[in-house]
Chains A and B, each alone.
Chain A
Amino acid sequence: MIEGILQGLYTATTPINLLMVFVGCFAGTFIGMLPGLGPISAIALMIPITYGFDPSTGMILMAGVYYGAIFGGSTSAILINAPGVAGTVATAFDGYPLAKQGHAGKALALAAYSSFAGGTIAAIFLLVAAPALASVSLSFQSADYFALMVMGLTAVSAFAGKGNFLKAILMTVLGLMLSTIGTDQSAGIQRFTFGQIDLIDGISFLLLAMATFALSEALMGVLRPDAVNVEADKATKGELGSMKLTKEEVKFVAPVVARSSVLGFFIGVLPGAGATIASFLAYGMERNLASAKEKLKFGKGSLRGLAAPETANNAACSGSFVPLLTLGIPGSGTTAVMLGALISYGVQPGPRLFVEQPAVFWSVIISMYVGNVILLVLNLPLIPYIARLLALPKQILIPLILFFSLIGVYLVSFNTYDIYMMVFVAAIVLAIRLIDFPLAPMLLGFILGGMLEDNLRRALAISDGEASFLWERPITAVILGITCVLLISPLWTIIKDRRAKNFADGEG
């Protein structure tokens, strides 16, 4: 392990990789700050650029973009109450009131310190947890992988929120269906290509990611114009105030940061949970732990209420790398995009990655520390200047986002069919967004579809076509047991709610 860490340290600290962490953090901060554009879009926009790099450099750039985008999202949440990403919605609860009270500088600094602490503490956990899990998962067989993927896809739906369970399942299945388009990998048979040569290789994941997130986000900005720009203009032209925190304030938030880091990391490891759930849980936990007097400050500019979600969302980002690097199973939409990128570099994430590509495995982990330091040391002083970009007129920004999305996909295939396909997918996605169906499960389903089918085929071949592979191995049985619990939990909530409602009606 020490050898691996040293190798990762060496790779991560080469001049080109250090430059990439910096570029990634900077570009991520900028993109994440733009309302509507989150880490998925930011990473998707970077993928075409990374095709010329070696896998470690590409992953380091994307990890930097991921952290930067979360940090950038917090900036727009604090300054203009427009979280760039769902994971920073809870940041706006207390960050925006602080900014309105004239403490925008302090709120931004606290967000940066909390993100740094959360990211760094979680990266230490990652350093220990990832190799341990990778060693265990070396003994995994096709049946276990199949069960794990089913669990991951179920978890995404189970954590989708009240009333969204069935919608998330439908979107996951849609993603799985899209993954069946093209040539069947084992038999070489064409499926759902409708005689189109351009569909023989299937739909590219980059095309789907760009059309689903970057293109549709930009088009939604046109479809639903809002008043964000006016607010942005006001916020970025005003003074941010002091960025210094007093000793008492640091002492006050230190335990909050410690608790939220641990919580954030473990929530991040769970497939499907991610930064959004982690930030809300951390916010809720701190509010519950606060004294009655402190509780009243929540939602009105509480430092504790700002530090908790900010720490947790960054810690969850690190946590989400555990299943990606060790099992090859992404836990969130963002890591799903990264998985797709890794596969396109010719790297297969999973337990073997730790053994076969230690440079990629360790350099990504080490680059997280570097990324956190860069975010704190370089981005924080630049925030007042970067924040001015928030006021960039939408009519200039949107055509540029559309151009970068289209050209990003076109430059990979040099096939104009991909441009038409993107337009088609973006139009469908717009309709899906308008009826409030979640998009991340679709991308997750699409990326895992091929692997799921492959592992199921192999598991069935090994067990002579018998379904007994589902319970023969204890690991498979345990994972599928957890999957059943995940499936039942939303139903249990429905029954509980209905009972409570009936009871209340009876009382009334």
Chain B
Amino acid sequence: MTITKDKAGAFAFLVLALAYGLNIGDIPMLPGDEDEPFNAKTMPTFLAWLMGSVSFIMLVTRSRNESGSDPVVGAFTGLEWGKTSQLLGLMVFYGMTITFLGFIPSTILFIFGGLWILEERSLKVLLLSSIPLTVIFWYILSQLLGIYLTHGELFFMLGGTQ
């Protein structure tokens, strides 16, 4: 049996509705709130039921959308997953380094890395796209607009001051 894009999506939403619904029990209540016509659980409960019902209807009815009837596997194959996941990883790396290395070094590394992942191999392009842009952006933000950009923990560890 082929699982279509619509059915796979509906199933994922059904699972989400169940998970969301189960977590409603963890919402604390103020004393006497359970007798109120509307409390912190009312809206989430309604939403969980609505998503659950709509996704169930979608699961059991025939897809009316041509592209929605395509197999879900086909939608995820033949794509550049390698480069995309490397870019996602690079973004996480940027988050990890921005406070440690500081804005300028981490941004240069990020743009350089992004260009490299996307197969730019010209050293001139790699350097000219990353360094001047980062420095100009840093200058506009910190010197012209007065927005504080961290020097990074490393800068202070090496004896730098504000």
Contacts and interface: CB of A to CB of B under 8 A. Distances in A.
B1 to A, nearest CB: 17
Interface stretch (A162-170, A256-264, A282-290, A372-380): A162-170
Interface in B103-126: 107, 110-111, 113-115, 118-120, 125
Contacts of B48: 177
B43 A456 contact: yes
B75 to A, nearest CB: 5
Question: Interface residues of A: mostly helix, strand, loop or mixed?
Answer: helix
B54 A166 contact: yes
Interface centre among B16, B92, B114, B145, by most chain A C-beta atoms within 10 angstroms, is: B114
Nearest to B55: A170
Nearest to A166: B58
A410 interface: yes
B88 A164 contact: no
A490 to B, nearest CB: 9
Majority SS at the chain B contact face: helix
B94 A406 contact: yes
A252 interface: no
B143 interface: no
Counting chain A CB atoms within 10 Å of each CB, the highest count among B9, B20, B133 belongs to B9
A10 interface: no
A399 B114 contact: yes
Contacts of B5: 434-436
A191 B27 contact: yes
Contact of B51 (A177, A423, A437, A460): A177
Contacts of A398: 87, 114, 118
A163 B65 contact: yes
B114 A219 contact: no
B27 A416 contact: no
A192 B47 CA distance: 14
B125 A224 contact: no
A184 B38 contact: no
B54 A170 contact: yes
Nearest to B35: A465
B40 A189 contact: yes
B153 to A, nearest CB: 12
A504 interface: no
Given A163-B64, A187-B33, A416 B38 contact: no
Interface string B30-67: 10010011111001100110110011011000011111
B54 A219 contact: no
Contact of A400 (B40, B66, B111): B111
A400 B133 contact: yes
A430 B84 contact: yes
A427 interface: yes
A222 B118 CA distance: 8
A20 to B, nearest CB: 15
A170 B68 contact: no
Given A166-B57, A430-B84, A395 B118 contact: yes
A402 B114 contact: yes
A223 interface: yes
Contacts of B120: 393, 395-396
Contacts of A394: 118
A341 interface: no
Interface string A396-424: 10111011001100110010100110110
A187 B58 contact: no
Interface string B1-38: 00001101110010010001001000111100100111
B47 A419 contact: no
A228 interface: no
A496 to B, nearest CB: 12
Q: Among B55, B118, B150, find the residue whose CB has the most chain A CB atoms closer than 10 A.
A: B118
A131 B139 CA distance: 43
Interface string A163-189: 110110110011011001000100101
B80 A222 contact: yes
A416 B94 CA distance: 9
Contact of A167 (B6, B119, B133): B6
B132 interface: no
A221 to B, nearest CB: 10
A16 interface: no
Given A180-B43, A399-B118, A422 B27 contact: no
Nearest to A393: B120
Nearest to B150: A414
B127 interface: no
B148 to A, nearest CB: 8
B65 A164 contact: yes
Interface in A440-475: 453, 456-457, 460-461, 464-465
B110 to A, nearest CB: 6
Given A400-B111, A435-B9, A176 B47 contact: yes
B147 interface: yes
A238 B125 CA distance: 25
B147 A411 contact: yes
B99 A416 contact: yes
A403 B54 contact: no
3 tightest Cβ-Cβ pairs between the two chains A and B: A163-B65, A399-B114, A465-B37
Interface of A: 52, 162-164, 166-167, 169-170, 173-174, 176-177, 180, 184, 187, 189-192, 219, 222-225, 393-396, 398-400, 402-403, 406-407, 410-411, 414, 416, 419-420, 422-423, 426-427, 430, 432, 434-437, 453, 456-457, 460-461, 464-465, 494
27 contacts: A170-B54, A170-B58, A173-B54, A174-B16, A176-B43, A177-B20, A177-B48, A187-B39, A191-B27, A219-B87, A222-B84, A225-B80, A394-B118, A395-B118, A398-B114, A399-B118, A400-B133, A402-B87, A403-B114, A406-B95, A434-B5, A434-B75, A434-B76, A435-B6, A435-B75, A436-B65, A457-B38
Interface of B: 5-6, 8-10, 13, 16, 20, 23, 27-30, 33, 36-40, 43-44, 47-48, 50-51, 54-55, 57-58, 63-68, 72, 75-76, 79-81, 83-84, 87-88, 91-92, 94-96, 98-99, 107, 110-111, 113-115, 118-120, 125, 129, 133, 137, 141, 145, 147, 150
